[in-house]
Amino acid sequence: MLRRLEMEAYRWECRQREEERAAEYRERQLEAEADARAEAAAEQPERNRQARLKRSAEIERQTREIELRDLRRQVTRQDWWQKSVDRAASNAVQQRYRNTLMGELDAMINPPPPPPEPVIVVEQPEDDSFCGVKIPRWR
């Protein structure tokens, strides 16, 4: 019986040690979790700052891409406008050249009529003067 009591006492001591170890383990786990939370809380401002910097860089990149796209569009529009103006100027030069050629051909095919013959008109002076001198008339 003594042996049995010793065994029960030994088992009870073992359970006590196990419970103490389990309690210590839980305490260490809780401390580790608290430390991890505190460390995460301390690192959170840095993570937030990094996230803000990353977002700012992304916004800047997107803005730059939009500006470049707009500039390319403006260059394309300007190029199209310049080609249109050049084409219009070339067409105007060609049209003037054709008009000039047509005018020259028309002048060669249909020469202008000769000027009319000059008509000499002799008029009788209305008064009896010649170069301001009065000439008497005999009747």
The single residue listed with the structure tokens 């084409």 is 87
Contacts of 136 (CB under 8 A, 6+ apart): 128
**Dihedrals phi, psi of 130, to nearest 5 degrees:** -130, 115
For residue 134, what pLDDT is reported?
62
- Local mean pLDDT, 10-residue blocks, the chain (139 residues): 82 91 94 91 90 96 97 96 96 95 88 80 61 60
Q: pTM of the full predicted structure?
A: 0.43
Domain ranges within the chain, ordered by starting residue: 2-106
Report d(CA 32, CA 26) in Å as an integer: 10
Report d(CA 51, CA 132) in Å as an integer: 115
For residue 57, what pLDDT is reported?
97
Determine the 3-state secondary structure of 124 from DSSP: coil
Q: What is the DSSP letter of 127?
A: S
CA distances from 83 to 69, 86, 89 (A): 21, 5, 10
